Structure 1
Amino acid sequence: MSAAVRTPPSPGPTPSAGPRPDRTAVRRINLASMAGTTIEFYDYFIYGTAAALVFHKVFFPAVGGVVGTIAAFGTFALVYVFRPVGSILFGHVGDRLGRKRTLIVTLMTMGLCTVAVGLMPGAATLGVAAPILLIVLRAVQGLAVGGEWAGAALFATENAPDGQRGRFALYPQVGATVAFALATATFLAVDLGIGETSDAFVSWGWRVPFLLSALLIGVGLYVRLHTDETPVFTDAARTTTRRGVPFLEVWRRQPRTMLLATGLATGVFAAMSVATSYLTSYATGSLGMSKAGILVIDIIAALVSVATTAYAAILSDRLGRRRLVTAGCIGLAVWSLVLFPLLDTRSPFAIGAGIVVLLALLGPAYGPLGAYLPEMFSTRYRYTGSGVSYNLGGVAGGAVILVVAAPLTASAWGPITLGLCIAGLLAIAVGCLRRLPETHERALTAACDA
């Protein structure tokens, strides 16, 4: 198996993206690749918070408290169902028509759905049409989200000069933690201003974070309209005959790579989902910490994670992607076993240290993936291959772990059970990494079939 997957890098430094773009073009490329993932994760964080606090009252008042909350979180999870479908759909478009066009479509679709949720009247005005429209918006948004990350990562890596793909691809990766900081800061401001249990919050306060995403959409759309198609795709489109369906082709030519990349993404997403979503609820609900206190910790942790994610992505250009991602996964696995005993001391300092260190360790595991996953696949189906493996990992690691997190922490063994589960998924990720190739010296134009 290893021999089939460990594809050696092409000999010699083959140019992958031509000369380095000028500074203005580089800034636009960086912003273009970062904007979409920032909106994607910003919506993820604000929607999860709104679903927990208010959506059962606004959109599902007729079905009661507990059932209404379950229904609200059902619409939250709906994005995960449609993400793999979106990665296939937009992966096909991106591999056939280009990265830039696809990214403009995914950004507009994803962003407009977020704003539409913030503007939509509730069940008191629209009746049963309100939850139906909410479900439709989430389904469409899930499709767009499924095509966003891979396009952003490819836009960065395929524009990067040799030896700098990690540096360029850090921007879609830090978009996730920047979004976490922005969303947390927004809800902290709402909490301090009008209170998340007030009538004002139920009436209009929850809409503010959704409507603010329009600013991100405007910036993202501007820079994406003012950037060119990637040179790697342009060269491939001119010199390669397009044939077959990218989704079928990648599974036929690189099935082991797809499965191993999915296993890697699953472990990383499990740690990310717990760090950015579940621990906020656990700290306030089970540990008795104030909402404002945990939100401040989350902001600090997010800013630390931005720094470690960026540094790890840059360092991966010199040390290699696999070495840094392996170190990050091992660190996260060990810390997952320490985390819940530390949190259960209920010391604010211990809680803060636990969450900050967890998000700091997420940087080495997640940062290099922006370049690593695209580098594994050939240009003709790179959008599809990297996007599908990333989003399947998001479903298995992100959605599933959030479903089982509360039952595991309430089990007979206590919260350490959840830590063991995360550590187990990260151990699988490390096993997958051992069978994946190192790619940082590989030219993007080299054949990757394995």
Structure 2
Amino acid sequence: MSTQPAETSHGIKDNDLGVARWKIILASVVGTTIEFYDFYIYATAAVSVFPLIFFPGDDPQIALLASMATFGAAFVARPLGSIIFGHMGDRVGRKATLIGALLTMGIATFIIGLLPTYLQIGLWAPAMLTILRFCQGLGLGGEWSGAALLVTETAKPGKRASAAMWPQLGAPFGFLLANGFFLLLTLAFNYDSAADGADHVFIDWVWRVPFLASIVMVGIGLWVRLSLEETPVFKQAIAKDQRVKAPLKDVFAKNWWQLTLGTFIMYATYVLFYLMTTWVLSYAIGAPETGGLGTAYNDFLVIQLISILFFAAFVPVSGYLADKFGRKPTMLIITGLLIVFGLLFGWWLNADIIVSDDGTLNTTRMVLFMIVGMALMGLTFGPMSAILPELFPTETRYTGSGIAYNVSSILGAALTPFIATWLMGAFDVSYVGYYLAAAAFITLIFLALSPETKYRSLSNLDTDEIQRTRR
């Protein structure tokens, strides 16, 4: 009987990766956890803190809008980040690029925690905040695709989707850390954003703690990533001289269809995510006279934190299903379930049903809605870090998967809260669900047009093969 160690699908000995595999997993999870942690601490601060200290004025609505404008700067920067770091990732390597993306994102977040306020330096304060938020977006634009490639290009044969689910866990982990941290701080310092003003100790300095604490995760991620080897797939690309001089030019010239597929395959996932996090929070805590449910912020945050556990639990389930049954059939069924879920929004969330006559929220009904939505989020989000990289050849994989992921974020993330809020004002909550169902139907069409990528070899995949199996 042979005692030779088994080879992976990338042509290297599996025991060569065995010792490093836990570092690969940790390096991918830490980066994406920081990504979503940064997003949520900024989102929370942009609503409750930044209008008071960076955009003070007589009109609190204008201050809030100005604060949210800086929040949106990251969405503008993310596609640019995917181009910059994608070029580096396809030319220099996955490891070095991941380190650069992590430092860009992490250092910007840490410095936000040190910024002086408007009362201290005037207009320089919001200007510096916007610049740092833009830098966060640049880092985020390069982080996800690098983390996805790190695990997919070192995965065991037949286990690529299961390996690729690790960076996807960064979304629920980051949410739990960020919102859990803010919840604990608000409770510890007895801060109520609806009642307390700018003279509260939370506004004075406590809000800085979550931003400054992110440097701990950055340090861990940096230590792990510095100790990693380059992925075997990229090493093979170097050995075979497969790198291209201009990955961005090549990916648009040769892989425009894969960019289109990846963008819209991811589209419904982003719409669902921002409906289940950003929009539903505004709907739940909004005043009844404006169409909201009138729930206390801390009470609803607890419901969200419970539901996020189901998000995390179903990410590995979807990875297993995608490996066992294939990416395409798994995602077709999950996306079909998203359509059904969207069509039932009115039944779940209608204020006449979910709020009693005395104004009390039907907590059980809301918890069940959030659990189902977040479980579906885990199912649809889990396989994405396998599907998107598998669409592209090695020489443009970092650039292509990053652009598809981040352009989809603009369509599904930046626009969704606004569209959902408008639909609520013009019609009712059931139309928000119809919007989700429509987005899922669009994704369903592009899934039907996409190839099955489960059996593709990432190391042997070239542009000609993709062109032959394009549909």
Q: TM-score, normalization: structure 1? A: 0.94
1:177 paired residue number: 172
Query: In the alignment, residue 309 of structure 1 is paired with which amino acid?
Result: V
Which residue does 2:420 correspond to in 1?
405
Q: How much does 1:138 deviate?
A: 1.1
Task: Name the structure 1 match of 2:326.
Answer: 320
Correspondence 1:329 to 2:344: no
Question: Match for residue 457 of structure 2?
Answer: 443
In structure 2, the partner of 1:8 is none
- Give 1:240 deviation, angstroms: 2.1
Three-state SS of the structure 2 residue aligned to 1:410 is: helix
Which deviates more, 290-299 or 364-373?
290-299
Equivalences for residues 29-44 of structure 1 within 5 A? 29-44=24-39
Give the aligned CA root-mean-square deviation in angstroms: 1.6
SS of residue matched to 2:466: coil
CA 1:253 to 1:449, structure 2 compared with 1: closer, same or farther past 3 Å?
Answer: farther
Going from structure 1 to structure 2, the CA distance change for 1:158 and 1:14 (only over 3 Å counts) comes to closer
Q: CA deviation at 1:63?
A: 6.6
Supply the distance in 2 between the matched residues of 1:418 and 1:241 (Cα, whole angstroms).
46
| Cross-structure match for 2:315 | 309
Q: Which residue of 2 aligns with 1:377?
A: 392
Gaps of 5+ in 2: 1-6, 287-291, 356-361
For the pair 1:18 / 2:12, whether they are aligned, the reply is: yes
Structure 1 residue 336: deviation in Å?
1.8
**Mapped contact 1:17–1:158 kept (Cα < 8 A):** no
**Do residues 423 (structure 1) and 437 (structure 2) align?**
yes
Contact 1:177 1:306 in 2 (8 A): yes
How far 1:388 sits from its partner (Å)? Answer: 0.2
Match of 1:272, SS? helix
2:9 is matched by which residue type in structure 1? Answer: P
Q: Assess if the C-alpha contact under 8 Å between 1:34 and 1:171 holds in 2.
A: yes
Task: For 1:232-311, list aligned pairs within 5 A.
Answer: 232-285=233-286, 286-311=292-317
| Corresponding position: 1:390 with 2:405 | yes
Q: Which 4+ residue blocks in structure 1 deviate beyond 4 angstroms?
A: none
Q: Note the 1:23-422 alignment, pairs <5 A.
A: 23-62=18-57, 64-194=59-189, 195-197=191-193, 198=196, 199-285=200-286, 286-344=292-350, 345-346=354-355, 347-411=362-426, 413-422=427-436
Per-residue deviation, 1:325: 1.9
Tell me the distance in 2 between the aligned counterparts of 1:150 and 1:270.
19
> Residues of 1 paired with 2:316 and 2:446: CA distance?
23
Tell me the distance in 2 between the aligned counterparts of 1:352 and 1:47.
Answer: 25
Shift of 1:405: 2.0
1:221 Cα deviation from its structure 2 partner: 0.9
Instruction: Name the amino acid aligned to 2:293.
Output: L
Specify the code of the residue in structure 2 equivalent to 1:239: K
Distance in structure 1 (CA, Å) of the matches to 2:11 and 2:125: 48
* Identical positions, percent: 38
Q: 1:17 to 1:416 in 2, by over 3 A?
A: farther
Higher relative contact order (CA 8 A, sep 6+): 1
Structure 1 pair 137–63 and aligned structure 2 pair: CA distance change class (3 A)? farther
Distance 2:429 2:443 in 1: 22
CA deviation after TM superposition for structure 1 residue 104, in Å: 0.3
Distance 2:146 2:244 in 1: 20
Following the alignment from structure 1 to structure 2, what is the Cα–Cα distance between the partners of residues 273 and 206? 23
Residue 9 of structure 1: aligned partner:
none
> 1:245, CA displacement in angstroms?
1.1
Distance 1:327 1:14 in 2: 30
Post-superposition CA distance 1:407-435 (Å, at most 9, x none): 21111x21111111111011100100001
Residue identity matched to 1:227: L
Distance across 2 between alignment mates of 1:109 and 1:55: 22
Output one character per residue of 1:230-255: Cα deviation in whole Å (capped at 9) or x when no partner: 00001111112433411111111121
| Paired letter, 1:16 | H
**Deviation digits for residues 193-224 of structure 1, max 9, x if unmatched?**
22243412211222222122112111111111
Rate the CA distance shift 1:51–1:17 in 2: closer, same or farther, 3 A. farther
Contact 1:253 1:449 in 2 (8 A): no
> 1: distance between equivalents of 2:261 and 2:388?
11
Contact 1:339 1:419 in 2 (8 A): yes
Q: C-alpha separation between the residues in 2 aligned to 1:242 and 1:320?
A: 29
In structure 2, which of residues 447, 457, 463 is the aligned counterpart of residue 433 of structure 1? 447
Letter in 2 for 1:320: G
Letter in 1 for 2:446: C
Shift of 1:267: 1.5
Instruction: State the alpha-carbon separation in 2 of the partners of residues 276 and 358 from structure 1.
Output: 10
Q: Report how far residue 23 of structure 1 moved.
A: 4.1
Q: Deviations over 1:66-123 (max 9, x none)?
A: 1111010001111001111110111001000000000001001101111111111110
Q: Residue 466 of structure 2 aligns to which amino acid in structure 1?
A: D
What is the rounded CA distance, in whole Å, between the counterparts of 2:119 and 2:419 in structure 1?
Answer: 33
Report the Cα offset of residue 17 of structure 1. 5.3
Contact 2:267 / 2:412 at 8 angstroms: preserved in 1? yes
Q: Provide the rounded CA distance (Å) in 2 between the counterparts of 1:319 and 1:394.
A: 27
In structure 2, C-alpha distance between the alignment counterparts of 1:205 and 1:330, rounded to whole Å: 44
Kindly state the Cα deviation for residue 355 of structure 1 after the two structures are TM-superposed. 0.9
